[in-house]
Homo-oligomer: A and B are copies of this chain.
Amino acid sequence: MIDSDALNIPKSSFPRVVIVGGGFGGVALAKELSGKEVQVVLLDKNNYHTFQPLLYQVSTGGLEPDSIAYPIRKILQDYKNFFFRMAELQQVVREQKIVVTNIGELSYDHLVIAVGSETNFFGNIEIEKNGMAMKSIPQSLNLRSMILENFEQALLTDNLHERDALMNFVIVGGGPTGVELAGALAEIKKGILPKDYPDLDTRRAQINLIQSGDRILKEMSEKASEKAEDFLESLGVQIWKNTRVTDYDGKKVSTKTKLEFEAATLVWAAGVKGVSIKGLDAENFLVPGNRIKVNEFNQVVGDSNIYAIGDIACIQSDTTPYGHPMMAQPAIQQGTHLGENLVRLFDNKAMQPFKYKDKGSMATVGRNKAVVDLKKYRFQGVFAWFVWMFVHLFFLIGFRNRMVVFINWVYNYIRFDREARLIIRPYQRDYSKFNEPRTSKKEV
């Protein structure tokens, strides 16, 4: 029997599973538990699920933010004995089996941590303050606004040096996010900037992709890396390998070598880490990268009724010393698998260990340009690009979202355009570093 509590969840004779996080993992788990003899409470700080793989298209005006978000309540509508609360997790109190949130406390029988990951600045506060992250829809909209504001600002300065800096993009991190963002920006530079800013020499705009290692897309095959580099270079992206960014003051990007960039925009896509959770943040719970150590049943060490899935969970094994990749597929599979295991548990059956089915990985660079690594097949180019689009449409939740995204893609493809270049949520950065105060000038 569970107490009624501050979140107004009714009592139930079924065990209560509290899922924290409505991302890929949490939603897959909820789906699996629907119709089972269980009460499910899903908590998320947002009232929507975010389709993170397409955030870069929101940032670059290719998609509307609403198209890659889906109301969590709508996902749960058809499930009985499911409750959603918009709440931010503040603490887990294991001894009392409660979670503390910003709207009150909630007791659980089983707790599943599925809060995902956040941008990892590796402790560099300056980069965190001055650089842009792209892990959420608001962050993506901030980046979209800032990119556009930079160009509006570039129009106003006569200092060529400043103007170049305002049109200079430095993307740190050569993973799929960095590669896809760099490719999209390069296409914007080519197809949109000259038309939108006829009074600006947009050929001087630069897109720099910086990778600490010796190849981009290092989780993929060497062929994919090579091809992606070719694609990016053909679009005019400058790739800097074996280069480690050490600092960014809002204008100057420093690296470990003598290389420096003057850039108004630095996007940090160089790493993610698990979100910190009070009560589960002791060292014995964690592995490097702030992920929560779990066994092959996704159980948190030392606690049989707390689980973690997705980006925040790390199942260490001989074959996966660093856990599974922090992306959608492992989260979905772990969510589904944990759902099955919980049902087994309630039926007094033995839980089954999680086995990851690697379905391959892919990244897109631009129109007709993508790289796909499947288990047996590797391919690049137009067909890969179609596969990439099909897979992303397939995994988007909701028919309306799929249709709207599809329409946007077809339109953008035919017209070489991205019409959502709107500053609806101004970023309002301080440009004092870039421009002297302006007054009317004398006639030259």
Residues of A within 8 A of B (CB): 3-10, 46-48, 64-67, 69-71, 73-74, 77, 83, 85-86, 98, 103-105, 137-138, 141, 148-149, 152, 155-158, 195-197, 199, 398-401, 403-404, 407-408, 411, 415, 417, 419-425, 438-444
Nearest CB in chain B: distance from A84 CB, A: 9
- A48 contact set on B, CB distance < 8 A: 422-424
A64–B403 CA distance with the chains assembled, in angstroms: 13
A69–B420 CA distance with the chains assembled, in angstroms: 8
Most interface-central of A46, A199, A424, A444 (chain B CB within 10 A): A424
A407–B404 CA distance with the chains assembled, in angstroms: 7
Determine whether the beta carbon of A400 is less than 8 Å from that of B411.
Answer: yes
- A420 contact set on B, CB distance < 8 A: 66
Determine whether the beta carbon of B440 is less than 8 Å from that of A8.
Answer: no
Partner among B47, B69, B403 whose Cβ is within 8 Å of the Cβ of A152: B47
A74–B192 CA distance with the chains assembled, in angstroms: 9
A4–B438 CA distance with the chains assembled, in angstroms: 13
Question: What are 6 residue pairs bridging A and B, where the CB atoms are less than 8 Å apart in the complex?
Answer: A8-B158, A66-B66, A73-B197, A86-B152, A399-B411, A403-B407
Determine whether the beta carbon of B419 is less than 8 Å from that of A74.
Answer: yes
Determine whether the beta carbon of A74 is less than 8 Å from that of B196.
Answer: yes
A77–B408 CA distance with the chains assembled, in angstroms: 20
A-B contact sample (9 more), CB < 8 A, given A7-B156, A64-B66: A3-B441, A10-B199, A66-B422, A66-B424, A74-B195, A74-B196, A105-B439, A400-B417, A425-B425
A6–B435 CA distance with the chains assembled, in angstroms: 12
Determine whether the beta carbon of A400 is less than 8 Å from that of B404.
Answer: no
Nearest CB in chain B: distance from A69 CB, A: 5
Partner among B71, B156, B441 whose Cβ is within 8 Å of the Cβ of A4: B441
- A443 contact set on B, CB distance < 8 A: 3-4
Determine whether the beta carbon of B441 is less than 8 Å from that of A5.
Answer: yes
Residue on B nearest A401 in the bound complex, by CB: B419
Partner among B8, B105, B148, B440 whose Cβ is within 8 Å of the Cβ of A155: B8
- A66 contact set on B, CB distance < 8 A: 64-66, 419-420, 422, 424
Using known A-B contacts A5-B441, A196-B73, A196-B77, determine if residue A138 contacts B64 with beta carbons closer than 8 Å: no
Nearest CB in chain B: distance from A341 CB, A: 27
- A438 contact set on B, CB distance < 8 A: 6, 103-104
Determine whether the beta carbon of B104 is less than 8 Å from that of A196.
Answer: no
Determine whether the beta carbon of B423 is less than 8 Å from that of A47.
Answer: yes
A238–B228 CA distance with the chains assembled, in angstroms: 60
Nearest CB in chain B: distance from A100 CB, A: 10
Partner among B103, B138, B157, B400 whose Cβ is within 8 Å of the Cβ of A425: B138
Residue on B nearest A73 in the bound complex, by CB: B196
